[in-house]
Amino acid sequence: MNKLTVRAAAVQIAPDLTSRAGTVERVLNAISEACDKGAELIVFPETFVPYYPYFSFVLPPMQQGAEHLRLYEEAVAIPSPETRAVADAARKRGVVIVLGVTERDHGSLYNTQLIFDADGSLALRRRKITPTYHERMIWGQGDGAGLNVVDTAVGRMGALACWEHYNPLARYALMAQHEEIHASHFPGSLVGPIFGEQIEVTMRHHALESGCFVVNATGWLTEDQIASIHPDPSLQRGLRDGCMTCIITPEAAMSSRP
């Protein structure tokens, strides 16, 4: 590892479900706050910009059209003013940033992970190989080309999104490249408390088997946001809990959690 000690921040905040600009503002504010506290590595939740498509978890396909189109309009092109703003923040503060975005490219959407190095360069751009369950209505398939461990200012880093951690070959691809820090993220506010327990087990397993640190970020939703997605209380239950933002040591010990 390039540094003996790295101060990392796993960010657990709510996106702005109404606009890409609003979420980017929250990202930049969180970067500033974390850097003021000495962070050298900052990890954000899955597809945090503009927001995770929570609607796809509770709405039937016939009712998803309008929300799907709105997500398409708010999605992130790479490069774009949004990615340049995050890159500038990384460069100005000398911090490594891992950001999940819904990427728009040639008419399709992708679940994409971006690693910005401390000089503002884009060290890694990768797409989730296989969207999970309802996500397949939203995102296209990745191709595995981003299963790379990259050298950054804080060490050798790899990244996977959400249930990719149940793909042994994807995980082994990173292990074989000797990742020192693993960046991961989940959407949060899905499925319920059992999902948070599953995340913890999965993150500890990867840290122990890989012999690396894991920095995992999950998002969450406010009660008003949950109500805006669906008015049915029985379906709203599926949009709560499911959070497990944590930092895990190579011995699988919980170093930090909210």
The pLDDT-based confidence of 257 (bands split at 50, 70, 90) is: low
pTM: 0.96
* pLDDT the model gives residue 252: 95
Average pLDDT, the chain: 95
Domain regions of the chain by residue span = 8-256
Asked whether the predicted pLDDT for residue 230 surpasses 70, the reply is: yes
Lowest model confidence (mean pLDDT) among 66-70, 107-111, 195-199: 195-199
**Residue 256 binned pLDDT confidence (cut-offs 50, 70, 90):** low
- For the stretch 241-255, pLDDT in tens is 889 999 999 999 988
User: Which residue's structure tokens are 């950001």?
Assistant: 99
Q: Are residues 156 and 212 in contact, defined by beta-carbon separation less than 8 angstroms?
A: no
Enumerate the β-bridge partners of residue 122. 116
232 residue type, one letter: D
Mean pLDDT to the nearest integer, 35-52 = 98
Q: Look at 83-87, 123-127, 198-202 and tell me which has the smallest mean pLDDT.
A: 198-202
Q: Which residues are catalytic?
A: 46, 128, 162
| Structural contact between residues 5 and 181, judged by C-beta atoms closer than 8 angstroms | no
Which superfamily does 8-256 belong to?
A: Carbon-nitrogen hydrolase (3.60.110.10)
Model confidence pLDDT, tens digit, residues 74-122: 999 999 999 999 999 999 999 999 999 999 999 999 999 999 999 999 9
pLDDT tier, 195 (very low <50, low <70, confident <90, very high otherwise)? confident
Instruction: Provide the Cα torsion 60, 217, 118, 82; round to 10°.
Output: 30
